[in-house]
Chain A
């Protein structure tokens, strides 16, 4: 253990101490079988609630994609039997608190934080939101319209990067329950009725399906109170349909979304058989940090694409689903998935560089897969992840989120055990995991660009894509490498590729 690790010990000790206290088996028994994750921090004046249901967008029925998201919104933005939504917001406002829902594929989590001064009033409202939804037709109209507008206007018209990511998701998980935006499909939303929402709520948001998460300076009886209240939920355990296998990918399969836009957003990915529950995940964490740690300058992709060549604003890679948490660069918590995917996010490039940028990203991915990492790269990346991960849970909400995610994956505390797992890694293990799980030949690519047909033809035909710089003094090694990248062969599977107008997306 190095000196820096010793310095970090107090924080970790605090976390571990809290965890030790936080999982009392007797408490779980007393809580009528509702699993409970507790993170008591006596000195904190704040109390964080995270109530998670094992129900997500992947549980949306056929023809009703978007139902879970709409149901969650009807709870948090639709009022309760006692109070209209207008009244709920007015009551929460003086506390500067709210109840929000995070909907992902496998779970939906209701989150909120309040000051201890307001605990009783907040708890009452929080439980009303979960247990006594109003299900008013006017709120349903408003929220369904908003959700549809998100698909038709925001996603199609206002955010090329998110459009690119959602396009990749749709393409990568075609035929799989993950293969839709959480907001669903526009036509499916038209078909959803208020009765559908009520039925989905009764079926999926049940006592057998819930986990309680609490953190902060809460009174000792809070967990019991919450658990007792949740006993009002139906006892039925909803069945989750088994996921079909994702379709095999043959060659480079391209979805080119035609859109009138200034630049070209590119996302690359493929499903992987690894989650945090697997030993190889930790080896891949190190490899991924080396290739493209989110929004740092450390990654190969960021260095070669942005720093050296000025192609765009940023280039990153991921080994699990990643959503950035607000103004941080860290992932949000409480979006665990039973199936994960590897991806590369190339932020928008100028259209004249789109083919070169795709080639360069695949060239670097291929280099990693073919050559693996060196001992020095391995040690550098491992050291970074080990220290950087200590910044991921600076507040109680995030710490609680990580603990709940650990429970989802059926493992001990992810962050608490991460340093030891990283320490135990060897270069050979990392390179073996790269070889086993990553690849640069059979994968999916989604682009959002103007002139999508021409782009698809260019990449399918391996048309040379030389890059020209305005700047002088570009190092000769870069110019030499550019010549290789400009003709780097990509094996596009044209039959499995397609051009889609943006207006046709998420219909």
Chain B
């Protein structure tokens, strides 16, 4: 399912706890005390320039290679005006259109010369520009990247042409019923908050994008300012020399962020439902979404709910074994509960083999979360899921890019790389009664949205 909009040539995922890349970092994982220490094994240097731009530098053993990331803490969450859904993502495309110093062609030519492939992605909360470059090209990259954030310039004609590429992106994604189900679930679950729309945006808004040139400049003014951005460098470099480069090139950036208020979602009090008719062949789908809390590492709720998602719905869960393996009523069962700055969704997806089973599957999902609120999970399963989390993380630190990907997520959510270690401390602290508590607090029918999708035969 395409839940984040990967743009042009996207390389990494902003979702924590995803990824099974090879690791070169020797981590202490044998002992039960692993979580007492910081889970992130590399030294992190944080600095802030006078203009408010934060830089995070992480030397890493990737000979000759540097991962260079610019994290803008704005995404589709910040599309607060009606009719402007999808704009953060569209604007990300425009960032490749050049400046007076480096035209779009010159920008591409520079990276081509470096043998690199700059890319970007947008999600609900962040827009990230990234490239993997050779060490000796770093100054050129700092130069060209800082330049486009300070001096972006594009014509209305370029703007309109690019909007067609975005429409093409929508079209390619929406031959998949799962994307439509996801879109409808969010639209139904939220009445007010901007999480109502996906990062891709509503089709009617995408079709109107060519008329929004002025708004695009306004979006840039509001969010593309040093106080709202973080530059992250991971790989083979000298920290002080690199900081000097960053200071030299980014200090002239004088913009001031002007963050629009994101409207809060009112408390939901009753289950919401919707249905999608799909005009092509598909198995029937069901998505039950529960309102989840905002990402937080000061309490255990985020960590507990994340572990609970795995315990209740992933491949080793009793429900999965029942519905997918034993009874074979369901082809796929999965949970998607990404961390978000504001209260988001804990989504359970089921791809059902026969539409007559949709009600039964929905009832089993509710029974499962209701039991979780009253019946503590056994100690072995809790230990297993924590072990899975630890090893998944250890195995995701193998390359400069994957390390940058892990940090990007928490920096986007909190502005602070230290939240990564805090999160893993919270995982370690979760007890069985934390799981029953968060199940009872968040996974309730009053906070639920049910969306079904069924297709027509070809």
Chain A residues contacting B25 (CB-CB under 8 Å) are 45
Q: Indicate if B398 sits at the interface (CB-CB under 8 A).
A: yes
A43 contacts B279, C-beta separation under 8 Å: no
Chain A residues contacting B112 (CB-CB under 8 Å) are 296, 298, 380, 383-384
Q: Indicate if A442 sits at the interface (CB-CB under 8 A).
A: no
Q: Which of A117, A159, A295 is B176 in contact with, Cβ under 8 Å?
A: A159
Residue with the greatest number of chain B CB neighbours at <10 A, chosen from A3, A93, A396: A93
A156 contacts B281, C-beta separation under 8 Å: yes
A474 contacts B280, C-beta separation under 8 Å: no
Q: Which of B178, B281, B391, B399 is A394 in contact with, Cβ under 8 Å?
A: B399
Q: Indicate if B255 sits at the interface (CB-CB under 8 A).
A: no
Q: Indicate if A496 sits at the interface (CB-CB under 8 A).
A: no
B117 contacts A296, C-beta separation under 8 Å: yes
Q: Which of B135, B165, B328 is A7 in contact with, Cβ under 8 Å?
A: B135
Chain B residues contacting A11 (CB-CB under 8 Å) are 62-65
A470 contacts B168, C-beta separation under 8 Å: no
**Chain A binder among B26-34, B44-52, B240-248, B290-298:** B26-34
Query: Please, how many angstroms separate the alpha-carbon atoms of A14 and B25 in the complex?
Result: 16
Q: Indicate if A95 sits at the interface (CB-CB under 8 A).
A: yes
Chain A residues contacting B20 (CB-CB under 8 Å) are 96, 98, 113
Contact bitstring A1-28, B, C-beta under 8 A = 1, else 0: 0011001111100100000000000000
B23 contacts A503, C-beta separation under 8 Å: no
Q: A263-B168, A383-B113, A384-B115 are known contacts. Are A7 and B398 too (CB-CB below 8 A)?
A: no
Query: Please, how many angstroms separate the alpha-carbon atoms of A347 and B172 in the complex?
Result: 7
Q: Distance (Å) between the CB of A344 and the closest chain B CB?
A: 16
Chain A residues contacting B8 (CB-CB under 8 Å) are 295, 297, 314
Contact bitstring A36-80, B, C-beta under 8 A = 1, else 0: 000001011110100000000000000000000000000000000
Chain B residues contacting A397 (CB-CB under 8 Å) are 21-22
Q: Indicate if A86 sits at the interface (CB-CB under 8 A).
A: yes
B168 contacts A158, C-beta separation under 8 Å: no
**Chain B binder among A201-209, A304-312, A334-342:** A304-312
Chain B residues contacting A156 (CB-CB under 8 Å) are 280-281, 458
Q: Distance (Å) between the CB of B310 and the closest chain A CB?
A: 9
Q: A216-B22, A327-B11 are known contacts. Are A3 and B394 too (CB-CB below 8 A)?
A: no
B156 contacts A7, C-beta separation under 8 Å: no
Query: Please, how many angstroms separate the alpha-carbon atoms of A163 and B398 in the complex?
Result: 34
Q: Which of B63, B177, B328, B399 is A395 in contact with, Cβ under 8 Å?
A: B399
Q: A311-B164, A395-B399 are known contacts. Are A45 and B26 too (CB-CB below 8 A)?
A: yes
Chain A residues contacting B104 (CB-CB under 8 Å) are 307
Chain B residues contacting A328 (CB-CB under 8 Å) are 11
Q: Which of A9, A98, A395 is B64 in contact with, Cβ under 8 Å?
A: A9
B168 contacts A45, C-beta separation under 8 Å: no
Q: A95-B391, A157-B458 are known contacts. Are A46 and B175 too (CB-CB below 8 A)?
A: no
Q: Indicate if B414 sits at the interface (CB-CB under 8 A).
A: no
Q: Indicate if B171 sits at the interface (CB-CB under 8 A).
A: yes
A94 contacts B328, C-beta separation under 8 Å: no
Query: Please, how many angstroms separate the alpha-carbon atoms of A382 and B30 in the complex?
Result: 47
B134 contacts A4, C-beta separation under 8 Å: yes
Chain B residues contacting A312 (CB-CB under 8 Å) are 164-165, 168, 171-172
B328 contacts A141, C-beta separation under 8 Å: yes
Q: A14-B63, A45-B394, A141-B328 are known contacts. Are A115 and B155 too (CB-CB below 8 A)?
A: no
Residue with the greatest number of chain A CB neighbours at <10 A, chosen from B62, B104, B160, B280: B280
B455 contacts A94, C-beta separation under 8 Å: no
Query: Please, how many angstroms separate the alpha-carbon atoms of A41 and B353 in the complex?
Result: 45
Query: Please, how many angstroms separate the alpha-carbon atoms of A216 and B26 in the complex?
Result: 12
Q: Distance (Å) between the CB of A493 and the closest chain B CB?
A: 27
Chain B residues contacting A380 (CB-CB under 8 Å) are 112-113
Q: Indicate if A329 sits at the interface (CB-CB under 8 A).
A: yes
Chain A residues contacting B135 (CB-CB under 8 Å) are 7
Query: Please, how many angstroms separate the alpha-carbon atoms of A262 and B206 in the complex?
Result: 14
Residue with the greatest number of chain A CB neighbours at <10 A, chosen from B9, B113, B392: B9
Q: A4-B136, A46-B395, A502-B458 are known contacts. Are A327 and B10 too (CB-CB below 8 A)?
A: yes
Query: Please, how many angstroms separate the alpha-carbon atoms of A388 and B117 in the complex?
Result: 8
Q: Which of A161, A327, A396, A502 is B22 in contact with, Cβ under 8 Å?
A: A396
Q: Indicate if A182 sits at the interface (CB-CB under 8 A).
A: no
B9 contacts A310, C-beta separation under 8 Å: no
Q: Which residues of chain B in 145-163 are interfacial with respect to chain A, using CB atoms and an 8 Å cutoff? A: 155-157, 159-163
Q: Indicate if A153 sits at the interface (CB-CB under 8 A).
A: yes
**Chain B binder among A142-150, A268-276, A408-416:** A142-150
Residue with the greatest number of chain A CB neighbours at <10 A, chosen from B25, B175, B316: B175
Query: Please, how many angstroms separate the alpha-carbon atoms of A89 and B26 in the complex?
Result: 26
- How many A residues, CB 8 Å from partner? 91
Contact bitstring B1-29, A, C-beta under 8 A = 1, else 0: 00000101111110000011111111101
Query: Please, how many angstroms separate the alpha-carbon atoms of A350 and B394 in the complex?
Result: 44
Chain B residues contacting A383 (CB-CB under 8 Å) are 112-113, 115
Q: Which of A298, A327, A349, A396 is B12 in contact with, Cβ under 8 Å?
A: A327
**Chain A binder among B186-194, B260-268, B381-389, B418-426:** B381-389
B22 contacts A395, C-beta separation under 8 Å: yes
Q: Which of B171, B172, B281, B316 is A153 in contact with, Cβ under 8 Å?
A: B281
Query: Please, how many angstroms separate the alpha-carbon atoms of A313 and B162 in the complex?
Result: 9
Contact bitstring B61-72, A, C-beta under 8 A = 1, else 0: 011110000000
A390 contacts B115, C-beta separation under 8 Å: yes
Query: Please, how many angstroms separate the alpha-carbon atoms of A313 and B169 in the complex?
Result: 5
Q: Indicate if B282 sits at the interface (CB-CB under 8 A).
A: yes
Chain A residues contacting B283 (CB-CB under 8 Å) are 149, 153
Q: Indicate if B96 sits at the interface (CB-CB under 8 A).
A: yes
Query: Please, how many angstroms separate the alpha-carbon atoms of A3 and B137 in the complex?
Result: 10
Chain B residues contacting A390 (CB-CB under 8 Å) are 64, 115, 134
Query: Please, how many angstroms separate the alpha-carbon atoms of A396 and B219 in the complex?
Result: 42
Chain B residues contacting A349 (CB-CB under 8 Å) are 168
Query: Please, how many angstroms separate the alpha-carbon atoms of A296 and B10 in the complex?
Result: 10
Q: Indicate if B116 sits at the interface (CB-CB under 8 A).
A: yes
Q: Which of B156, B316, B394 is A115 in contact with, Cβ under 8 Å?
A: B394
Chain A residues contacting B281 (CB-CB under 8 Å) are 152-153, 156-157, 502-503
Q: Distance (Å) between the CB of A402 and the closest chain B CB?
A: 13
Q: Distance (Å) between the CB of A185 and the closest chain B CB?
A: 16
Query: Please, how many angstroms separate the alpha-carbon atoms of A306 and B155 in the complex?
Result: 16
Query: Please, how many angstroms separate the alpha-carbon atoms of A10 and B458 in the complex?
Result: 56
Contact bitstring A449-488, B, C-beta under 8 A = 1, else 0: 0000000000000000000011111100000000000000
B325 contacts A157, C-beta separation under 8 Å: no
Q: Distance (Å) between the CB of B21 and the closest chain A CB?
A: 5
Q: A11-B64, A142-B328, A296-B117 are known contacts. Are A347 and B168 too (CB-CB below 8 A)?
A: yes
B458 contacts A348, C-beta separation under 8 Å: no
A94 contacts B387, C-beta separation under 8 Å: yes
Q: Indicate if A187 sits at the interface (CB-CB under 8 A).
A: no
Chain A residues contacting B114 (CB-CB under 8 Å) are 4, 387
Chain B residues contacting A469 (CB-CB under 8 Å) are 160-161
Chain A residues contacting B388 (CB-CB under 8 Å) are 93-96
Q: Indicate if B445 sits at the interface (CB-CB under 8 A).
A: no
Q: Smallest CB-CB separation from A391: which chain B residue?
A: B132
Q: Indicate if B108 sits at the interface (CB-CB under 8 A).
A: yes
Q: Indicate if A428 sits at the interface (CB-CB under 8 A).
A: no
Query: Can you show 27 pairs from A to B with CB atoms below 8 A apart?
Result: A4-B115, A8-B64, A45-B23, A45-B27, A96-B388, A96-B389, A141-B328, A153-B455, A156-B280, A157-B281, A307-B161, A310-B163, A313-B169, A327-B10, A384-B113, A388-B117, A391-B65, A394-B398, A394-B401, A395-B402, A396-B22, A397-B22, A470-B160, A471-B156, A471-B161, A472-B156, A503-B458
> Which of A's residues lie within 8 Å of B, judged by CB?
3-4, 7-11, 14, 41, 43-46, 48, 85-86, 89-90, 93-98, 113, 115, 117-118, 138, 141-142, 145-146, 149, 152-153, 156-161, 215-216, 259-263, 265, 295-298, 306-314, 327-329, 347-350, 380, 383-384, 386-388, 390-391, 394-397, 469-474, 501-503
* Supplied contacts A96-B388, A153-B282, A469-B160, 10 more A-B pairs, CB within 8 Å: A44-B22, A96-B395, A141-B328, A262-B175, A298-B108, A310-B165, A394-B65, A394-B400, A471-B210, A503-B281
